[in-house]
Amino acid sequence: MIALEICLCSDDHQRLVNNVARVYLAGGERIELCSAMVQEGLTPDVEAISIARKAFAKRPGLMVMIRPRAGDFDYNIDEIDLMLEQITQAAQAGADGVVLGVLTTVDSYTTINLPALKKLVAASHELNLQVGFHRAFDAVSNRKLALEQLITLGVERVLTSGTQWGESSSALAGLDSLFDIVTWAERKIEIVVAGGINPNIGKTVLSSLAELNGRLSLHAYSSVLTNDDIATDKLDALINLL
């Protein structure tokens, strides 16, 4: 079964209550909770996580962004320590999982920061949190190698549009790359497809990747919003697609 993950901004707590409730009632399986979406998503505050947990009731799909600052994903030791603290706080506030990404770049060649990721994944799993690797994946120089590393470390999901990080293209522009990524994954990790996902784009993506029988889900944000509020009709259209 293909799941639908909805990204929600946590900055307005009252709006968050309503938006989480609408996703819950519509049958959305997962939420990715972020603050500061104008900065591509940062770690939400503890109160927001608690609010989302209560509104999402007992459904095991509350994923929390762990991203301590905007900009690149090459973090120093203090920032990694902060991420470890944020993971603990997310678990204590009721999260089911975390979404994160750590990279390193040498001579314009970007790879996963394996020592840092090992610490973050181990800490998350010790707290019974699932781990998703966010679209930092789309910034690596060798996606096949990165995917193998994520699988080896036990990361449950990876978010990707198939396009290069920083581009404004939708998942339609990344279909060829997505085909490769799902093939390489061999059902060992779930591929969460992002990038302008709406009913039309989602339908094309799913039909294009259907023959691979991969572990897939869709990730949507702005396409289900009207004036920052979840629009039930838009959300239902995506859910009905699945």
Where do we find the tokens 């699945």? 242
Predicted local distance difference test score (pLDDT) of residue 48 = 98
Alpha-carbon distance of 208 to 5, in angstroms, equals 19
Beta strands at 109-112 and 103-106: parallel, antiparallel or unpaired: antiparallel
Predicted local distance difference test score (pLDDT) of residue 169 = 82
Predicted local distance difference test score (pLDDT) of residue 35 = 98
CA distances in angstroms from 239 to 24, 44, 204, 224, listed in the order given: 12, 26, 15, 11
Low-confidence ranges of the chain (pLDDT < 50): none
Predicted local distance difference test score (pLDDT) of residue 167 = 84
- Are the CB atoms for 147 and 158 separated by under 8 Å? yes
Nearest to 238 by CA among 216, 215, 220: 220
Predicted local distance difference test score (pLDDT) of residue 229 = 97
Does the domain formed by 3-241 have CATH 3.20.20.380? yes
Where do we find the tokens 């799913």? 206
User: Following DSSP, what letter does each residue of 27-50 receive, concatenated?
Assistant: T--EEEEEB-GGGT-BPPPHHHHH
Predicted local distance difference test score (pLDDT) of residue 168 = 74
Predicted local distance difference test score (pLDDT) of residue 241 = 87
Predicted local distance difference test score (pLDDT) of residue 124 = 98
- In the chain, DSSP assigns E strands to 3-9, 30-34, 62-65, 97-100, 103-106, 109-112, 130-133, 157-160, 190-193, 216-220, 225-226, 229-230
**What does the mean pLDDT of the chain come to?**
96
Predicted local distance difference test score (pLDDT) of residue 242 = 84
The separation between CA 69 and the C-alpha centre of its own chain, rounded to angstroms, equals 16
pTM: 0.96
Delimit the domains of the chain by residue range: 3-241
